Amino acid sequence: MSSAFEALSRCARLRNVVDDVAFVTKRAFTSDPSSAGLVAVLTLVLAFLPSAQVVATAALIDRLRAGDHLGGMVWPLAIVVIVVGLSGPLLSLRAAIDERSMLSTEIDLQSELAVIVASMSPSRLSNAKVAAEVEGHSRAIVQAVSYVYGNTMAGVGSVVSAIGVVVTLALMSPVAAVLVVLGAAPAIIAGRHVGRAIERMWRVLGAVYQRDTYLRDTMSRQRSVTELASLGTTHRLAEMVKAQQHKVAEVRDLPIAATIRAQRAVGVSGTVLLGGAVIAVIVGMNYGPTAVAGVYGVITAMAATSQGSLSLSEVLQFLPQTTAVRRFFRAAPPAFKQVIAPEASDLVVSRLTHRYDGRDHDAITDISLTAKRGEMIALVGVNGAGKTTTVNAVLGLVEASGGVVTVDGRRRAELGEAAWLGKFGLLTQEFGRYEFTVRQTVALGTPDDEVSDEQIWAAIDAARAGEFVRAMPHGLDTQLGEQWGGVGISGGQWQRLALARIYLRNAPIWILDEPTSAIDAEAEQEVFQELGRTKAERITIVVSHRAWTLRAIDRIYVIDQGTVAECGTYDELMCAQGRFAQIFAEQA
């Protein structure tokens, strides 16, 4: 029973190897068919050169021994000269074309990975494990998967070359041929050993790289590094980068250490087998001059066998990552395509509860609120009270452990995540500062492919950003961000462009988390006046810490320690002298 299971397991592994190689080979021919085809042709040409050289060398030695004149040596001599003359250039040409094929494959795979990530739902993208997996796959494509086709062809070519030379060598000394074939075994065993180490490395490398990328991005990001430089603490960030680099090196050293151990054994066994094969061919050919060709054949065959084993072992080493990437691509969900909903009449949140992993208490408990079209409601509370968790749970960006959220009586599960999020426009407190052109930055607010300049200008004007955008050197085509040679703008201007994205999106439910936190008082008043003027078109939910912005709010929900502590208008809550009055006493 166990032997049958092992046989099935081996068959499954072999099938997986074939599937992985076929996956990358198909990508290589899809992305750059001419380069992939040339790699195959040159590989086969190079594969037959060594055996031709051995046969020609033996024939040349025989003619020399027989005392032939130059005319009798023309063909073996010509073959030797052509083979030796072409081998180097053909090898270099194959390497260059293989590099081009590998680059095309890498671009193709990275592009598809980007498309898959772009099609993921926000709830999946917010999962730290998924983010680490994507980072790991991206690195694997660059460092491993894109090399599989070239290494497979090199391995196949070396195997064909080794077979040709071994067959030729077997005619001279069967014992030497057997010893040369045995020389492949240590390299294959070593390849499997190193492959297991690489598999261990890739299990943890994605998360390690993710942290490393974040730290290095922080070090290179103009805003963050300027802030830290002004505080005199950039050296601490550098220390974190250095420490993370050591972790990266520690993980990446796993296959290096395994390779060092394996190659020691391969070197010793290969040397012994090579020596035995050389002796066997010399003895088998009666110590004659033609034995020189046999010795050359042994060396050539051993080199071809070793190179083939090395190339195939590298393919085996890269297969765990290839398998992971292939399965990730195959399991890619349908494209997450939003369509902005035209309207929504009411939002009802009933007893919403959520607890974060690793916590021993709920972040929010039994949160209930309602909002109808034309109303502006507010969520207020001190930092950590549960406002952001409430917003994320309403949107479905975190999975609620209890409670129900409906829009017009329908839940997210009924509509699907894309349709659900198409009902919302979210402006977070940590709004994105996308350093593209003004047009591109604002257009990110909607999934619609066709967005006119008139729509973009209308959104910019509604967000009270029109004056400074029109003053820019190229208007909507102005590049933002000094690090790209563009225009530097203030935090408040960035926030107004973020608000313009929400106006452009024009979803029926707006959730604005501190929408004017970086804006001056005069502009803030204008923004809220515009929100009030147009509130009849939507449901508006505002998260705010500023008392005066709450005076015109229809209903305020005070969240305290994860629950709704109070609810009412600004005047009602101030008169009640409860938690709201405590929070806003000084501002009032």
What angle do helix axes 184-220 and 128-143 make, rounded to 10 degrees? Answer: 120
**How far separated are the first and last CA of the chain, in Å rounded?**
80
DSSP 482: G
Q: Is the CA virtual torsion 150, 153, 156, 160 positive or negative? A: negative
Report how far residue 169's alpha carbon sits from residue 53's, in angstroms, rounded to the nearest whole number: 12
Contact by Cβ (8 Å): 202, 143: no
Q: CA Rg, the chain, in Å?
A: 34
Model pLDDT for residues 117-155, shown as the tens digit of each residue: 888 877 777 777 888 788 888 888 988 899 999 988 987
Amino acid at 223: R
Report how far residue 146's alpha carbon sits from residue 23's, in angstroms, rounded to the nearest whole number: 11
3-state secondary structure 441-458: HHHCCCCCCCCCHHHHHH
Reading the block at residue 173, the tokens are 């000394």
Contact by Cβ (8 Å): 393, 541: no
pLDDT (tens, 9 = 90+) of the chain, 588 residues, equals 445 545 545 566 778 888 999 999 999 999 999 999 999 999 888 887 777 766 666 666 666 666 556 556 666 667 666 766 777 788 889 889 999 999 999 999 999 998 888 888 777 777 778 887 888 888 889 888 999 999 889 878 877 877 777 776 666 767 766 776 676 667 667 766 776 777 777 677 777 877 888 888 777 776 677 677 767 777 788 888 888 888 888 888 887 887 787 777 777 776 776 677 667 666 666 555 556 666 666 666 666 666 666 666 677 777 878 888 999 888 877 776 788 999 999 999 999 999 888 788 888 999 999 999 999 999 998 888 889 899 989 998 888 889 999 999 999 989 888 889 899 998 888 888 888 999 999 999 998 888 999 999 999 999 989 999 999 999 999 999 877 788 988 888 998 999 999 999 999 999 988 887 777 777 778 888 888 888 888 999 999 877 777 888 899 999 999 999 999 999 999 999 988 888 887 655
Amino acid at 568: G
Partner residues linked to 564 by β-bridges:
559
Model pLDDT for residues 275-327, shown as the tens digit of each residue: 776 676 666 665 555 566 666 666 666 666 666 666 666 777 778 788 889 99
The CA-based dihedral angle spanning residues 80, 81, 84, 88, taken in that order and rounded to the nearest 10 degrees: -150
The CA-based dihedral angle spanning residues 485, 488, 493, 499, taken in that order and rounded to the nearest 10 degrees: 30
Report how far residue 185's alpha carbon sits from residue 197's, in angstroms, rounded to the nearest whole number: 19
Map out the domains of the chain with their CATH numbers: 15-330 (1.20.1560.10), 346-584 (3.40.50.300)
Instruction: Please count the helices (runs of H) and the strands (runs of E) in the chain.
Output: 21, 10
Contact by Cβ (8 Å): 344, 394: no
Q: Is the CA virtual torsion 36, 39, 42, 43 positive or negative? A: negative
Return the pLDDT at 133: 83
Report how far residue 454's alpha carbon sits from residue 79's, in angstroms, rounded to the nearest whole number: 73
69 burial via Cβ count (<10 Å: 0-12, 13-18, 19+): exposed
Exposure b/e, 338-347, CB count within 10 A at least 16 = b: bebbeebeeb
Q: For the whole model, what pTM was predicted? A: 0.69
